[in-house]
Amino acid sequence: MAVAVDQSRLSTSARNFIDAARFHRLLEQQVDASQVRDVIGKSMAKNPLSVEETAVLLAADTPALIEEIFAAARQLKRDVYGNRIVLFAPLYIGNECVNDCRYCAFRRSNRNAVRRTLSEAQMCEQVEALLSAGHKRLILVFGEHPHYSPEFIADRVRRVYSVRQPIKGSNREEEEAKEQASEGPGEASNSSEHAAGSAMLPMASIRRVNINAAPLDHEGYRIVKNAGIGTYQIFQETYHYDTYAAYHPAGTLKANYHWRLDGVARAMEAGADDVGIGCLFGLYDWRFEVLGLVAHALHLQEHYNVGPHTISFPRLRPASGVELPGTYRVTDHQFKRLVAILRLAVPYTGLILTAREPAELRREVMAFGVSQIDAGSRIELGGYTEAADAQVLQREQFQLADVRSLDDVMYELLSDGYVPSFCTACYRLGRTGEHSMEFAIPGFIQNMCTPNALVTLAEYLCDYASPRTRETGERVIRRELNRLPESRRKQQLIDRLRRVRGTSERDMYF
């Protein structure tokens, strides 16, 4: 029997908003081209779609209509997000788990899994390795276990933020040598008055920490929120109740479907106003799961005046000690369709494409509306310092398909015309939750975030990039500057880019 939950600990909006019978009826309908185009037109006006309207797009199965959906998703992505792509990296803190999810290598009955929780020192080593590569945004991942209490998660978040590392980029070596020569042997200055005009090396730190962990009660979320997190992310795994029960054995904490479904609503009521939702595609009919995600987003919008900050759509991947189901396998073509339809259904919600997918497919799908990706990812416990090039399946939750370095991904993004971004300005200035929608709707994301993205890109190019990435990135910055109309903001941006390149100033944002 599933673990009982005290109903008083649920959110005030708690209800089962997933109507499976209704979803199936909608998925059986036949639609014509005019219906599909009417729905596309509503989306292109940047209006979120209803579950019924989303189902119309899912029912469009002719090559011509599917291509129209793809084209609309590409255009909507450009209209709302421009050509900006936000980058982050996952950091697994511990894989102890009391659950027994059939698709997960970390499930408690898997004796092949190497169990580990990083010590504080080991975690800091991982953070230093990520900083050395150029990362600024992390998502910390925890199993569901009593060890990983809200207090433990909050402590780890604060410790990640406290890590500082001198930046020693390859193109700063000459400035560093000049500085040391001017001060005499062994007299490198740490004086703050040199910060604006000298070549004193700046310090790198993580600027935003997101969380992927088990659902909490209201007090637990408050504890974690007070540590300064960004987004709290919970994947429902599957919105189909019977399938959920089949993959999450009774008697485990995760077996309670409704406690998990209500998880991000409780987070929002506790003040964690940026939440992420997602499901694991391949457990059930992908079209049903898309309707589940849209229904979940609409439920949050209805009750809290803002939908999820992000939606994730990972597919099943091979994992140690796991026999993958094949009945509902999602093909690459279906995967492209679901990403494009999600983009049209939730115009202002970020879409996260992970390194579960192979590089070639990630490159293609990016254009259909993706706004965030991870890069340079290792998901073994301690993988950023201890793992070699080959993945160690016994130490990771699943197998990644894209294990390229951050710099390789940056080079490809820049070559394809994107602006890679490490920006965290909105979270640090309070432009989150409901306020983020107020800024996003009039085009704030493209008009404000592009300048911030260019500043963080310039930081990466100066401090971490390979020569080929630096050269390509500088061309992209010049191109983007030429596209901006003359304004006070443009002149401020040019000044900040100059300061990034010529001084020790970092972390400037609008």
Q: What is the pLDDT of residues 461-479, one digit of tens each?
A: 999 999 999 999 999 999 9
pLDDT of residue 7: 72
CA distance 58 to 289: 11
What single-letter amino acid sits at 241? Y
pLDDT at 179 over 60: no
How large is the average pLDDT for residues 32-58? 97
Q: Choose among 118, 163, 143, 115: nearest CA to 385.
A: 118
**Those residues with Cβ within 8 angstroms of residue 80's Cβ, 6 or more apart along the chain or in another chain:** 46, 347, 348, 440, 443, 445, 446
To which H or E segment does residue 209 belong? strand 208-212
Percent of all residues in the chain with a pLDDT value above 90, rounded to a whole number? 80
3-state secondary structure of 225: helix
Q: What is the pLDDT of residues 376-408, one digit of tens each?
A: 999 999 999 987 777 888 889 999 999 999 999
Phi/psi for 122 (5° steps) reads -65, -40
CA distance 354 to 373: 6
In contact, 374 and 88? CB cutoff 8 Å = yes
Q: What is the pLDDT of residues 277-320, one digit of tens each?
A: 999 999 999 999 999 999 999 999 999 999 999 999 999 999 99
Secondary structure letter of residue 366 according to DSSP: G
pLDDT of residue 404: 96
To which H or E segment does residue 463 belong? helix 444-463
Q: What is the pLDDT of residues 65-118, one digit of tens each?
A: 999 999 999 999 998 888 999 999 999 999 999 999 999 999 999 998 999 999
Percent of all residues in the chain with a pLDDT value above 70, rounded to a whole number? 89
3-state secondary structure of 248: coil
- The distance from CA 357 to its chain's CA centroid, rounded to whole angstroms, is 14
CA distance 82 to 427: 20
For the record, the structure tokens of 177 come out as 């040598």
More confident residue, 26 or 391: 26
Please state, rounded to an integer, the average pLDDT across all residues of the chain.
90
pLDDT of residue 449: 84
> E-assigned strands of 213-317?
232-237, 275-279, 310-312
Q: pTM of this prediction?
A: 0.91
CA distance 55 to 25: 10
Q: Measure CA of the first residue to CA of the last residue in the chain; give whole Å.
A: 52
Q: Choose among 283, 153, 280: nearest CA to 215.
A: 153
More confident residue, 487 or 56: 56
Secondary structure letter of residue 253 according to DSSP: G
Provide the pLDDT confidence category of residue 322 given band limits of 50, 70 and 90.
very high
What are the b/e assignments for 397-429, b being 16+ CB within 10 Å?
bbbbbbbbebbbbbbbbbeeebbbbbbbbbbee
pLDDT of residue 182: 44
Helices (H), 118-240: 120-133, 150-162, 173-183, 218-225
The CA-based angle 253-276-247, given to 5 degrees, is 35
In contact, 365 and 73? CB cutoff 8 Å = no
Structural domains of the chain, with CATH: 35-166+202-502 (3.20.20.70)
The CA-based angle 225-296-87, given to 5 degrees, is 55
For the record, the structure tokens of 242 come out as 């019977």
pLDDT of residue 439: 54
In contact, 248 and 290? CB cutoff 8 Å = no
